[in-house]
Amino acid sequence: MANYTLIDTVPCENVLGEGIQWNSQDQCFWWTDIHSAKLYRYHLATKKLSHWNLPEKLCCFAFAKNDSRLLAAFESGFAWFDYSNGVVEWIAKPEAHIPGNRSNDGRCDRQGRFWMGTILDQKNTPDQYASLYSLSADGKINQHLTGLHISNALCWSPDSRKLYHADSPTHTINVYDFDAADGTLSNRQVFARTEPGVEPDGACVDAQGYVWNAQWGGNRVVRYAPDGSIDLVLTMPVSQATCVAFGGEQLNLLAVTSARIGLSEDALKLQPQAGNLFIFQTDIQGLEEPRFG
């Protein structure tokens, strides 16, 4: 079983911190506060926290192999974003025809495709659903899943043979067979379930193939073995953990974002650190985050 120790708390008070990942090139954790439309960067060695104001909500993003810009999933779609000057170059808006939907959780697979799932921010029609998309380096967009409400927990096994994904309100993380060559998924199986009131949020996979999942409403991050059994429950000082990522020079630091949104004044008194970033030292090694392209 993994061991962990809280070594750093970054007081950023995010409304909805999400999408955290490690950039080995600048030795920083990067993440987004979706509802505040801000991009954050935390330099581990100097503990310097920076942020950028954005033109619209940034829901997830990826670093690219051959471009200094971020590949962003803003609320209305895919775009290149140059955080040095604020310039946005739109690529596609796959759900521009569905009012009330926005982008949500996403990341790159190990073959360099960027995946993004959407969310029903506001349901306007009975047949309105969210979906899961991928964007290839050649600009091609594919829709892989639909009929969703809140797409989350997207990550892949170390050998790219399995894709993990959750539709959060179903309290279920599913696992699919993944064809890494053509980027398709099949054979959905239930991987793990959470109890009522607790929803699976952002996730990542470590070098041993175990899935780490931030659990909204559960005051915790859970590490699941490849067979779906619970290996570890990491108790959090906040109820709304949102996303997880491994980083640091040894990839053995686990960073966890969180959210303040929806918490009453009484709840915030009980968890004053809600919305902050938490960094844990672990005895587990993560995997390098893939880049787009």
23-66 pLDDT tens trace:
999 999 999 999 999 999 999 999 999 999 999 999 999 999 99
pLDDT surpassing 90 at residue 2: no
pTM (2 decimals)?
0.97
pLDDT digits (tens, 9 = 90+) for 174-224: 999 999 999 999 999 999 999 999 999 999 999 999 999 999 999 999 999
Share of the chain above pLDDT 90, in %: 99
Query: Among the listed ranges 2-6, 71-75, 91-95, which one has the minimum average pLDDT value?
Result: 2-6
CATH class of domain segment(s) 4-282: mainly beta
Which tokens is 80 given? 């290149």
Type of residue found at 118: T
d(Cα 169, Cα 117) in Å, to the nearest integer?
A: 14
pLDDT digits (tens, 9 = 90+) for 222-275: 999 999 999 999 999 999 999 999 999 999 999 999 999 999 999 999 999 999
132 near 117, Cβ under 8 Å?
yes
16 — pLDDT class (breaks 50, 70, 90):
very high
